[in-house]
Amino acid sequence: MKRHFGIFGGRYVPELLIPALEELENEYKLAKNDPRFKREFKYHLNSFAGRPTPLTLADNLTKKLGGAKIYLKNEGLNHTGAHKITHCIGHALMAKRMGKGRIIAETGAGQHGLASAAVAARFGLSCTVYMGETDIIRQRPNVFWMKSLGAEVVPVRNGNKTLKDAVNAAIRDWIENVDNSYYLLGSVVGPHPYPTMTRDFQSVVGKEARKQILKEEKKLPDIVTACIGGGSNAMGIFSGFINKDTVELVGVEAGGTDSTIGKHSSRITGGSIGVVEGYKSIFLQDKDGQLQKTHSIAAGLDYAGLGPEIAYLHSKNRIRIKKASDAEALNAFKMLSRYEGIFPALESAHAIAYAIKKAPRIGKDKIIIANISGRGDKDLFIIASAFKDKNFGSFLKDESERREYHE
């Protein structure tokens, strides 16, 4: 298995973790070619996650924009509301196969923690989720759900008390408990073999989409677009089309509010090459290699690193990377809700924003597939506040007075 994607990727970890990564790589090589593992993975994708997800023609939006036909790959219909459950099932099956009874995860927005807690409950594994204290305060609903699923959520009080600090705490735990614990990473990031494994698990999305569009249109799309946080939903859908040069692959990063440091999460705009969190890629970092502050209205895009394979494919000009601002994402959310009856996650709304901009500029004979990485229910509080919904604000206030939250 290749450890690098061009100059990107690799495995830059403390010596102590090398044997664990080798064990994982060797076991994955076996699992990948094991018909029983493949069968089991597929079984749980179908019967637990809800795959295959549909490819929906956005008829009304297409007519409204008057250009290319827009199709939506609706990953939001997965159990727990996003694409993440797919690779979490793959990793949980690996943990079982390797005889590890415990999952360690770290989470920023809580989405990965939620998917990890769900698969742990389903597969009878215990689960510890590290989360910065600041994020715990910001993402209370996901913390509540993780605990309801039986996970232990450990508040991290070091540094900025956000994702970066949670990653460090998770790695410390893994070093101490490597014998019985499986480190479940949330995206196509981290040291080899994680980016490859997570991409492979997510590639089912691309395979489904390719089959679905061929059935519907008898030809491949002209453009496939997906939002990019770490890059797992993008690598998932892109991998179904990557061997066809005529299909343009467009990743969309978070443009935030403007292009100054701290106001966006576009690694391509403001990043540089470095080694952080065990892998080489493009990071938003300062001169000393410290990760910079990032921002996005979409919690899942608010990350300073970029999956190494994404960085590589971008350097080879195989994928193009664009950005959408907070305001454009909110507008895309509004349009998809009103015209198609679908609430996209704010992350996914970035890809929709690109499709909305692009479709009218190209011909009606063209086809765009936009990946809806997740559904928008989780963003209720952020969206209601962004739309300045006074009624929702007073509902929250009244509700806290009306209900019994304390003994």
User: What are the residue numbers of the active site?
Assistant: 84, 106, 373
Taking the complex as a whole, how short is the minimal distance between the CB of residue 394 and ligand PLP, in angstroms? 29
Applying CB under 6 A, the span of 9-17, 341-349, 359-367, 390-398 interacting with ligand PLP comes to: 341-349
367-406 residues near ligand PLP, rule: CB under 6 A? 373-374
Number of separate helices (H) and strands (E) present in the chain: 16, 14
Per the CB < 8 A criterion, the answer to whether 86 and 51 are in contact is: yes
- The reply to whether 82 sits near ligand PLP by the rule CB under 6 A is yes
With tokens 């066809």, the residue in question is 244
Contact call for residue 229 and ligand PLP (CB under 6 A): yes
Q: How many residues bind ligand PLP (CB under 6 A)?
A: 19
Contact flag: residue 9 with ligand PLP (CB under 6 A): no
Which strands form 367-372's sheet, in the order they lie side by side? 55-57, 69-74, 367-372, 223-227, 248-256, 319-325
End-to-end, the C-alpha distance of the chain in Å comes to 55
Select 75 or 173, whichever has its Cβ closest to ligand PLP: 75
Is residue 167 near ligand PLP by the rule CB under 6 A?
no
In which order are the strands placed within the sheet that holds 152-156? 152-156, 126-132, 102-107, 181-183
Among positions 9, 285, 348, 383, the unique one binding ligand PLP when judged by CB under 6 A: 348
Residue span binding ligand PLP (CB under 6 A) among the ranges 211-219, 331-339, 340-348, 358-366: 340-348
Q: Which region among 124-132, 222-230, 240-248, 284-292 touches ligand PLP (by CB under 6 A)?
A: 222-230
Task: Report cis status (omega within 30 of 0) of the bond before 14.
Answer: no
Task: Confirm or reject binding of residue 230 to ligand PLP (CB under 6 A).
Answer: yes
Q: What is the DSSP letter of 341?
A: S
Cβ atoms of residues 158 and 106 within 8 Å:
no
Cβ closest to ligand PLP, residue 193 vs residue 374: 374
Q: Which residue is nearest to ligand PLP (CB)?
A: 374
C-alpha–C-alpha distance, residues 406 and 55, integer Å? 45
- List the one residue from 89, 227, 291, 306 that touches ligand PLP (CB under 6 A): 227
300 binds ligand PLP (CB under 6 A): yes
* Rounded (10°) CA dihedral 234, 236, 238, 240: -170
Residues that bind ligand PLP (CB under 6 A): 82, 84, 111, 187, 227-234, 300-301, 345, 347-348, 373-374
